[in-house]
Amino acid sequence: MSKKILIIGSGIAGISSSLKLKSFGFNTTIIDKGNFIGGRISTREVTIDRKLNFFYHGAQFFTAKTKDFKKIISTGIKNNYIKEFGNFTPKRYRGHRTMREFLLNLSNELQIQQKVKITQIKPLGNKINVLDDKGNDWEGYDGVISSIPAPQNYNLMKNFPSLKKTLKTGSYHACIALMFTFDKVPFDLKTHYDFNKKSGILGWMASGSNPNVWTAHTNEEYSDLNYCKDKNFLKEEIMFSIKLFFRSKIKFHSLHIWRYAKVKSKYSGLQIDPTYPVAIAGDFLQGPNIEDAFISGNKAAYLIFDRLK
C-alpha cells in the first residue's frame, strides 16, 4: 500500500515536497493554518469602488537558476499562469493573473486543507500522529514534513531534539508591507521601484493586478528595528515616505507585518530526524527566496522517500 505522508504548510516548500512525493507514488495531504494556499507568496483581494483588486504583499517575483524550477516556470508560461515580470537579467517572473494563481495551478492535483493549525507532532508505534488546535488527531501517517517558518516549527518539535537543534541555528529579517492605492495614478508611473540603494525606510515598491494597486516594503534595517511598533505609527511613517517620491494622495491603505519574512542567516543541521520519518523544509534551510524554498521541499521529499522506501 502506498505510504501516507502529512505535509504541514501550503507554501512553495510544502507544495514541492508534495509534488515530489506524489511522483514517487506516495499519498500526500497538505494542511495549513491560513485561509489561502501560498504562505508568503500571498495575494490580498480587496474590492475598491466595486472593482476587485489584488495586492501582492509578500513575495513580489521569482527567479530560476536550477533545471527543476526552470521547468516549473516554462510549464507555467506555456499554460498562461506565469508571466515574465519587468525586463531584468536574470529574468523575473510572477504568477498570472495573481501570485496565488501560480501556486493554485502548480498544486491542482494535490490534496490540500486550509484553516488547520498544527500544535504537536508525536510518534506512536511505527506511525506519526499530528494534533491540531481544535484537539483533532490526524492519525496514522507513515511520515511528516513540516515546512513552516523555523521559529514556529521549533515549537512543534518537542519529540524531535535533533530537528529542534537545527531550528535554532539561523535567523530571519522582518518586513513591513503597506498595501495602498493612489487617489489619482501619478503620471509616468513605472511597475516597480527598487529603493534599496537609496536612503530612507523603503526597500521596494511594486504594482499588483493593476497600475493603481501597490505594495511598499520597508527595508531590512527599518523592518527589523520597527516591526513591533504601533501599526498606525508605521502606516504614517511609510505613507510619509511614499509621498516624498510621488506627490499624489494615498486613498486605500492596509498594513501587514511579516515577522519572518526573508532568511537573514540560513539554518543548518539535520533535515530529517535520525529515528523517525519526520523532516523539515523551507527557505530557512536553503536561502531567502522562492526557488530555494522549492529546492528545500524537494530535498525533504527525497529524505522521507529514502527512509520509507
Ligand X SMILES: Cc1cc2nc3c(=O)[nH]c(=O)nc-3n(C[C@H](O)[C@H](O)[C@H](O)COP(=O)(O)OP(=O)(O)OC[C@H]3O[C@@H](n4cnc5c(N)ncnc54)[C@H](O)[C@@H]3O)c2cc1C
Q: Which residues bind ligand X (CB under 6 A)?
A: 8-14, 31-34, 39-41, 58-62, 117-118, 147-149, 152, 175, 177, 217, 258, 261-262, 282-283, 288-290, 293
On the CB side of 243, CA atoms within 13 Å amount to 10
User: b/e string for 217-243 if b means 16 or more Cβ within 10 A?
Assistant: bbbbebbbebbeeeeeebbebbbebbe
Alpha-carbon distance of 45 to 66, in angstroms, equals 32
Which CB atom, from 51 or from 101, has the smaller least distance to ligand X? Answer: 101
Q: Min. distance of Cβ 25 from ligand X in angstroms?
A: 23
Q: Min. distance of Cβ 153 from ligand X in angstroms?
A: 8
Q: Min. distance of Cβ 288 from ligand X in angstroms?
A: 6
Which CB atom, from 14 or from 76, has the smaller least distance to ligand X? Answer: 14
What contacts 24+ positions apart, CB below 8 Å, involve 245-251? Answer: 245/193, 246/182, 246/186, 246/189, 247/186, 248/182, 248/183, 248/184, 248/185, 248/186, 249/182, 249/183, 249/184, 250/180, 250/181, 250/182, 250/183, 251/48, 251/180, 251/181, 251/182, 251/183
Q: Min. distance of Cβ 171 from ligand X in angstroms?
A: 14
Which CB atom, from 130 or from 250, has the smaller least distance to ligand X? Answer: 130
Q: Min. distance of Cβ 267 from ligand X in angstroms?
A: 11
Which CB atom, from 41 or from 163, has the smaller least distance to ligand X? Answer: 41
Which CB atom, from 239 or from 248, has the smaller least distance to ligand X? Answer: 239
